[in-house]
Amino acid sequence: MPVIAQSPVRDGFLRRAVARAATAAPVFAAVAALDQATTDEGSSAAIAVAGCLGAGAGAIAAAGLCAWTDLLGRMGRRFTIAFWFGSGVACALAIAADLGLAARLGGRYAVLAIGAGFSLLLGAAVFGLAGVALTPARELPSWLERCAAKERFALGAVALTAALLQSRVEADLLVGPYPLERTALRAGVFGALVFAAFCVDLPAFGPRAARAAVGLLVAVGSVPFVAIREHEATLAAAIVRAPYAGLAMAAYRRAFDWDRDGYSAALAGGDCDDWDPEVNPGQREVARNGRDDNCIGGDSAVEARSRYAPESVPRPEHASPVSVVLITVDTLSAAHVSGYGYARSTTPHLDRWAREHGQLFENTYAPATSTQYALSAVMRGVYPRRLKWSPVDTKDDVGVVRQQAMPTKEWRWTLSEWLSRRGMLTLAFVDDGDSNYLDKRHNIVGRFDEWTDGRQLSPATDDAALSRAVVARLGQLTPDQRFFLWVHYFGPHAPSTRHPGLPVFGATTADRYDHEILAFDQGVAALLDALVARQARGEPVVVALLADHGEDLEEHDRSHGQTLSEVSVRVPLVLSAPGLEPGRVASLVSALDLFSTLLRYTETPLPPDLDSRDLREPFAQRVVLSEIWSYASNKARVSDQVLASDGRYRFVRHLIPGSVEFESVAQSSADELDLPTNARRATLERAVDSYLDQVEPPDF
143 lies in a domain? yes
291 with 340, same domain: the answer is: no
93 lies in a domain? no
486 with 595, same domain: the answer is: yes
682 with 540, same domain: the answer is: no
Domain that includes residue 71, residue range: 8-76+137-255
265 with 240, same domain: the answer is: no
514 with 578, same domain: the answer is: yes
588 with 656, same domain: the answer is: no
- DSSP-assigned letters across all residues of 591-659: TTHHHHHHHHHTTPPPPSS-S---TTS---S--EEEEEEEE-TTS-EEEEEEEEE-SSEEEEEEEETTE
319 lies in a domain? no
- Tell me the sheet residues that pair with 326: 486, 544
269 with 246, same domain: the answer is: no
Are 661 and 654 contacting, i.e. CB atoms less than 8 angstroms apart?
Answer: yes
pLDDT at 335: 94
Are 325 and 489 contacting, i.e. CB atoms less than 8 angstroms apart?
Answer: no
Q: In what order do the strands lie in the sheet with 649-656?
A: 624-631, 637-645, 649-656, 659-664
Domain boundary among 255, 273, 288: 255
Dump pLDDT digits (tens) for 94-153. 888 877 777 777 666 677 778 888 888 888 898 889 888 888 887 677 888 888 888 888
Region 70-96 average pLDDT: 87
161 with 175, same domain: the answer is: yes
Angle subtended by helix axes 509-536 and 463-474, to nearest 10: 10
Dump pLDDT digits (tens) for 410-436. 999 999 999 999 999 999 999 988 777
Dump pLDDT digits (tens) for 170-229. 666 555 556 666 777 777 887 888 888 888 776 666 677 777 878 888 888 888 888 887
Distance, in Å, from the CA atom of 350 to the CA atom of 99, rounded to the nearest integer, reads 37
Domain boundary among 594, 617, 640: 617
241 with 297, same domain: the answer is: no
Dump pLDDT digits (tens) for 7-35. 343 356 677 788 888 888 888 888 888 88
543 with 448, same domain: the answer is: yes
291 has a pLDDT exceeding 90: no
- Provide the number of structural domains found in the chain: 3
Domain boundary among 239, 255, 271: 255
443 with 525, same domain: the answer is: yes
- Amino acid of residue 617: E
Please give the distance of CA 235 from its chain centroid, rounded to a whole number: 22
76-106 residues labelled b (16+ CB within 10 A) or e (exposed)? eeeebbebbbeebbebbeebbebbbbebbee
627 lies in a domain? no
Residues 6+ apart with CB under 8 A from 218: none
479 with 331, same domain: the answer is: yes
Distance, in Å, from the CA atom of 31 to the CA atom of 17, rounded to the nearest integer, reads 21
Are 524 and 329 contacting, i.e. CB atoms less than 8 angstroms apart?
Answer: yes
Which CATH number does the domain housing residue 437 bear?
Answer: 3.40.720.10
